[in-house]
Amino acid sequence: MENLELTNMVMIVNEKDNKVLVQNRVKGGWTGIAFPGGHVEKGESIIDSAIREVKEETGLDINNLEICGIKDWYIDEKNKRYMVVLLKTSFYSGTLIEDGEEGDVFWVNYDEIHSLNLADGFDKMIDIMFNKSINEYFIFKDKNTLEWKEILK
Residue 101's pLDDT is what? Answer: 84
Band (77; pLDDT cuts 50, 70, 90): confident
Residue 100's pLDDT is what? Answer: 82
- pLDDT cut 90: percent of the chain above it: 86
| CATH number given to 3-152 | 3.90.79.10
Computed over every residue of the chain, the mean pLDDT equals 94
Mean pLDDT along residues 69-86: 93
Tell me how far CA of residue 80 lies from CA of 13, 45, 56, 104, 139, in angstroms: 32, 20, 27, 30, 13
Residue 21's pLDDT is what? Answer: 98
Helices (H), the chain: 46-58, 122-130
| Model confidence at 153: pLDDT above 80 | yes
DSSP-based three-state secondary structure for 129: helix
Give the angle subtended at the CA of 74 by the CAs of 71 and 75, to the nearest 5°.
Answer: 140
Separation between Cα atoms, residue 145 and residue 143, nearest integer Å: 6
Q: Is the dihedral of CA 37, 93, 113, 24 positive or negative?
A: negative
pTM of the complete model:
0.94
